[in-house]
Amino acid sequence: MTNDIERLTKEHILAKERMALKRWNVGDPSGFLEISNSDVTYIDPYVDKRLEGYDALKSLYEGLRGKIIVDVSEMIETRVDLYNDIAILTYKLFSSTSQGETYWYCTEVYRLIDNENWRIIHTHWSIAK
Amino acid sequence: MTNDIERLTKEHILAKERMALKRWNVGDPSGFLEISNSDVTYIDPYVDKRLEGYDALKSLYEGLRGKIIVDVSEMIETRVDLYNDIAILTYKLFSSTSQGETYWYCTEVYRLIDNENWRIIHTHWSIAK
């Protein structure tokens, strides 16, 4: 039973991430915004500083809305580690756009909020060599 | 009281990381190994795949022992977010070696093991542009 719940939780989190990426790929950052918590922190190679809080992330993402179209995107080697109300999702992402092909690493820390919704509290994107 | 404990916990985690970095800078990876948990996962730009487990991390680090000397190293904009027995430490690291100067981003997820020791369960290093 516990194993079933764990397995379903992991699948649920992966499905959330996949859905957010699917929208991201057509220029819509709202998928990620809708699952990011108010206290989210965010790192990618292009931000000068770690972003702190939903509003900072929203500001970044709104500036990119409609500007990034990803033709091919594949999550590789996904892994979810569960620690009670915290889940650490890690994966590699292959991404192909008009700018070229890139392999990314991604860490997403999800937290179960109000015993109801898994939401992102930390994101770290990086470029794999 | 709670705030005091939180503050002390954050300082404790920062001190652990600083001590590990201090040893790293003279070619000694054991500082990080000693505070990494058996189930640690690890990402940096140069690994082909996420490393899974202490032995995989040890193998990487032992290959670097004595080979990386960091002349100047500074943790910038450190932040620790506490969620019960999980802590997310993020910071930027300025690093100067004979190979050049680099700004890194780092995410460390620490977990309180056996209600006693905070240990790293996930590391993500990336190069900031």
User: What is the rounded average pLDDT for all residues in chain A?
Assistant: 97
Question: What's the rounded mean pLDDT across residues A74-97?
Answer: 98
Q: Which residue of A50, A52, A107 is in closest CB contact with B122?
A: A107
Q: What ipTM does this complex have? A: 0.96
Q: Is the pLDDT of residue A1 over 80?
A: no
- Both structure tokens of A80: 């979810």
Partner B contacted by A77 (CB < 8 A): yes
Tens digit of pLDDT for each residue in A19-59? 999 999 999 999 999 999 999 999 999 999 999 999 999 99
User: Any idea what DSSP says for residue B68?
Assistant: -
- Please name the member of A45, A109, A128 whose beta carbon is closest to the beta carbon of B109: A109
Q: Do B107 and A122 touch (CB under 8 A)?
A: yes
Decide if pLDDT at B1 tops 80. no
**pLDDT tens digits, A95-112:** 999 999 999 999 999 999
Q: Contacts of residue A126 in chain B, CB cutoff 8 Å?
A: 43, 45, 105, 124-127
A85: nearest Cα among A127, A55, A113, A123:
A113
**Among A43, A90, A127, whose Cβ lies nearest the Cβ of B50?**
A90
Nearest residue, CB atoms, B122 vs list A46, A88, A126: A88
Kindly state whether A85 is in contact with chain B, defined as any CB-CB distance less than 8 angstroms: yes
Residue A3 has pLDDT above 70, yes or no: yes
The whole-angstrom separation of Cα A108 and Cα A111 is 10
- Note whether A111 contacts B: Cβ–Cβ < 8 A: yes
Instruction: Say if the Cβ atoms of A86 and B83 lie within 8 Å.
Output: yes
**B12 at interface of A, judged by CB pairs closer than 8 A:** no
A90 contacts on B by Cβ (under 8 Å): 41, 43, 50, 122, 124
Task: Judge whether B40 and B58 are in contact, CB under 8 Å.
Answer: no
Q: Are A97 and A70 in contact (CB under 8 A)?
A: yes
Q: What is the mean pLDDT of residues B3-32?
A: 97
Q: Is B100 on the interface with A (CB under 8 A)?
A: no
In this prediction, residue A7 carries a pLDDT of 96
Tell me the pTM: 0.96
Pairing of strands B100-113, B117-127: antiparallel
DSSP secondary structure of B93-126: EEEEETTEEEEEEEEEEEEEETTTEEEEEEEEEE
Mean pLDDT of B14-26: 98
Q: For the segment B51-66, what is each residue's pLDDT rounded down to a tens digit?
A: 999 999 999 999 999 9
Q: How many CA atoms lie within 13 A of A121 on its CB side?
A: 22
pLDDT digits (tens, 9 = 90+) for B84-127: 999 999 999 999 999 999 999 999 999 999 999 999 999 999 99
Determine, for residues B124 and A127 on separate chains, whether the beta-carbon distance falls below 8 Å: no
**Is the pLDDT assigned to residue B11 strictly greater than 90?**
yes
| Buried/exposed B20-58: b ≥16 CB within 10 Å, e otherwise | bbeebbeebbebbbebbbeebbbbbeebeebbbebebbb
Band (pLDDT 50/70/90 cuts) for residue A81 is very high
User: Residue A129 — pLDDT band, cuts 50, 70, 90?
Assistant: confident
Specify the pLDDT at position A2. 78
